[in-house]
């Protein structure tokens, strides 16, 4: 099981993707990343967060890691500001890590938006599912810290968090999350009836039918039939 054991700040992800130059070697950006992640004390901590960032947001889109190739997230980060990109970057973490998808589902199942989140209750649920493994506990802590850095949770003390009111996603952001999902899963067809709402879990659930209509012929062909609504990605 691949865990998510190092929290990432959205600023680190965004600034790395926005400034990196496709066609160059990854090590050419190691120095600038050290300057970016200044609050991570020690070379080992910086190296491990960089490993998670590059693995998730760069290497997952390409077969080799010797040269950085352009990808959909780099392109979006060059076009949009950090606030626009936050939900899209978070959705990539949810897409890539099974343990984060499970954590996200459990958060919504156990705690309603008005309740404080208890790390002890959440960790117990994770251990019940995956076993009493250190990687499970580290992943839980790391993802809660990441949600705090994304300003979706507010820490109350060492074991409790307050949930922030769910924001509203712009249609463009929903469209980009759908297109990102298609790229990550190497598919050209998406049935919006079965599209997993977990990717929007920390925001108000969007009305996918409206978004499908809005970007029909622009980003996809919206095909409606009996018991299915398919987006055929261009």
- pLDDT averaged over the chain? 92
182's enclosing H/E stretch is: helix 171-184
Q: Could you tell me what percent of the chain has a pLDDT over 90?
A: 74
pLDDT of res. 149: 95
pTM of the model: 0.94
pLDDT of res. 114: 85
Cα 205 to the center of its chain, rounded Å = 16
pLDDT of res. 39: 65
Q: Residue 91 pLDDT > 90, yes or no?
A: yes
Query: Residues with Cβ < 8 Å from 109, sequence gap 6 or more?
Result: none
pLDDT of res. 40: 60
User: In the beta sheet, which residues pair with residue 10?
Assistant: none
Q: Residue 151 pLDDT > 90, yes or no?
A: yes
pLDDT of res. 132: 76
Sorting pLDDT into bands at 50, 70 and 90, what band is 145? very high
Report yes or no: 217 and 208 within 8 Å, Cβ to Cβ: no
Report yes or no: 7 and 48 within 8 Å, Cβ to Cβ: no
pLDDT of res. 5: 82
Q: How many CB atoms lie within 10 A of CB 55?
A: 13
- CB-side neighbour CA atoms (13 Å) of 225: 6
What residues does each domain of the chain span? Answer: 10-94, 98-163, 171-233
Extended strands (E) in 83-227? 117-118, 153-155, 160-163, 189-191, 220-225
Query: Looking at residues 88-111, what average pLDDT do you find?
Result: 94
Token code pair at residue 200: 């929007």
Domain covering 98-163 in this structure, CATH number: 1.10.10.10
């Amino acid at each position: 099981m691949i865990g998510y054991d190092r929290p990432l700040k959205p600023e680190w992800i965004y600034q790395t993707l926005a400034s990196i130059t496709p066609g160059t070697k990854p090590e050419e950006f190691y120095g600038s990343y050290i300057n970016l992640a200044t609050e991570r004390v020690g070379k080992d901590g910086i190296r491990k967060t960089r490993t998670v960032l590059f693995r998730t947001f760069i290497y997952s889109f390409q077969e080799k890691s010797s040269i950085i190739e352009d990808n959909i997230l780099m392109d979006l980060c060059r076009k949009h500001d950090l606030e626009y990109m936050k939900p899209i970057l978070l959705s990539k973490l949810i897409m890539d890590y099974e343990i984060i998808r499970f954590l996200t589902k459990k958060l919504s199942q156990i705690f309603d938006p008005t309740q404080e989140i208890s790390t002890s209750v959440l960790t117990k649920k994770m251990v019940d599912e995956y076993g009493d493994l250190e990687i499970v506990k580290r992943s839980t802590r790391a993802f809660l810290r990441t949600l705090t850095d994304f300003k979706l949770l507010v820490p109350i003390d060492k074991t409790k968090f307050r949930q922030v009111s769910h924001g509203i996603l712009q249609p463009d952001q929903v469209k980009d999350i759908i297109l990102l999902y298609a790229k990550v899963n190497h598919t050209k067809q998406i049935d919006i009836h079965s599209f997993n709402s977990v990717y929007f879990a920390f925001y108000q659930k969007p009305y996918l039918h409206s978004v499908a209509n809005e970007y029909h012929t622009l980003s996809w062909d919206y095909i409606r039939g009996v018991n299915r609504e398919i987006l055929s990605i261009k």
